[in-house]
Amino acid sequence: MTKEILLCKYGEIVLKGANRKSFEDMLSREMKKRAACYGNFDIYRAQSTIYIEPMDNEADMDGMFEAASKVFGIVAIARAAVCEKNMEDIARTARKYVPPFLEGKKTFKVEAKRSDKAFALDSMQISREIGGEILEVCPSIRVDVHHPDVIVKVEIREFGAYISAGQFKGAGGMPVGSNGKGLLLLSGGIDSPVAGYMMAKRGVRLDAVHFESFPYTSERAREKVLELAQIVAEYSGDIFVHVVSLTHIQEELVKACEEDYFTLLLRRYMMTIAERIAREKGCMALITGESLGQVASQTMQALGVTDAAVNLPVFRPCIGMDKEEIVTIARKIGTFETSIQPYEDCCTVFTPRHPRTKPELAKVLAQENKLDFAALVEEALGTTYTVHIKAEY
């Protein structure tokens, strides 16, 4: 029986110089944590690759492959047959292992990489010989070295020879936790889950804050947000979602302030509350899903007024993207269908008919001073409760 393992290739980690080992350790820990859900695997690393080897027949290779594809820091994954480092064994394994991957395909080519320079044949010789072996057992397929349907790879490495047919893209990015921790302002819309995913891809571990306005927003709206957090957690790991009520703040804004300032003022409350939670939870930045000019509160002037409420950095990974680009990522990571469910969020409550798009900070502060800002912030923080979203790998 052919022994099969997973080969997971590093991405940016290889550029980290003297700090590389700490990034590799993070990546290995994350992979081992996920592997525990799928059986008994030996996980080790060498030559910019993580090897995932099943230790018994009960190990779920399909599940492990899917889990590994969502680990940030890995750029490519391949299922590979393992054999001894001699041409007889390599040829025998290729003849048996590769044909199922070529079914329905018209062309292929063989690429060989000889990391072990003591191996007798060079890369070109290995490619020619194994290509010939494959053609003998798959006579209906032909070689195309420029645009093949399938690339068969033969790698002569430290621990043995590895044969794969087709590589799959990994999640890319950096290991989660390698670039600190941030607090995601998570609504029920399309943009904020994408923003969380994008920052997790850059190595940021996530907490999240969600603002609700019960009874103006429903329990189902909150459940929708937790579902979104669950999907993002497949990539980012566990997320603690801190839920805060804005109901009283919104009601007081309606009573005391001019309507066209409602959204701006509410955003300043949200950012201030988020910053307080972020500092308490050890987060070094706020993360939002805003895209420049998408809505009235996302003009350059409005974002400036919003940011003036806080001192922490505000990361907006979607800022230069149009809606279609954001939707494409939402579909890829699986959040889109949940995001478009028709449940309201706090930002749709008491929406002004003609919101300010070019606000002046002095005039916004004049409106804000009609209320006891600090007291309302403390009251809202007092409503906070936390939901621990455990990653389901």
- Residue 21: give the domain boundaries: 3-169
Same domain for 159 and 131: yes
Residues 6+ apart with CB under 8 A from 348: none
Cα separation, 166 vs 183, whole angstroms: 38
Domain end point (choices 169, 200, 228): 169
Same domain for 188 and 155: no
Provide the domain count of the chain: 2
Domain end point (choices 126, 141, 169): 169
Which token pair is 9?
Answer: 């290739």
Indicate whether 176 belongs to any domain: no
Q: Name the 3-class secondary structure at 118.
A: coil
Indicate whether 175 belongs to any domain: no
pLDDT at residue number 350: 64
Amino acid at residue number 338: T
pLDDT at residue number 349: 60
DSSP states of 314-374:
EE-TTTT--HHHHHHHHHHHT-HHHHTS----GGGTT--SS--SS--HHHHHHHHTTS-HH
Same domain for 304 and 196: yes
Which token pair is 92?
Answer: 């025998």
| pLDDT, one tens digit for every residue, the chain (393 residues) | 678 999 999 988 988 888 899 999 999 999 999 999 999 999 999 888 999 999 998 999 999 999 999 999 999 999 999 999 999 999 999 999 999 999 999 999 999 999 888 898 999 999 999 999 999 999 999 999 999 999 999 999 888 899 999 889 999 999 999 999 999 999 989 999 999 999 999 999 999 999 998 888 888 889 999 999 999 999 999 999 999 999 999 999 999 988 888 989 999 999 999 999 999 999 999 999 999 988 878 899 999 999 999 999 999 999 999 999 999 999 999 999 999 987 666 566 667 677 778 889 999 999 999 999 999 999 999 999 999 999 987
Domain end point (choices 104, 135, 169): 169
Same domain for 309 and 355: yes
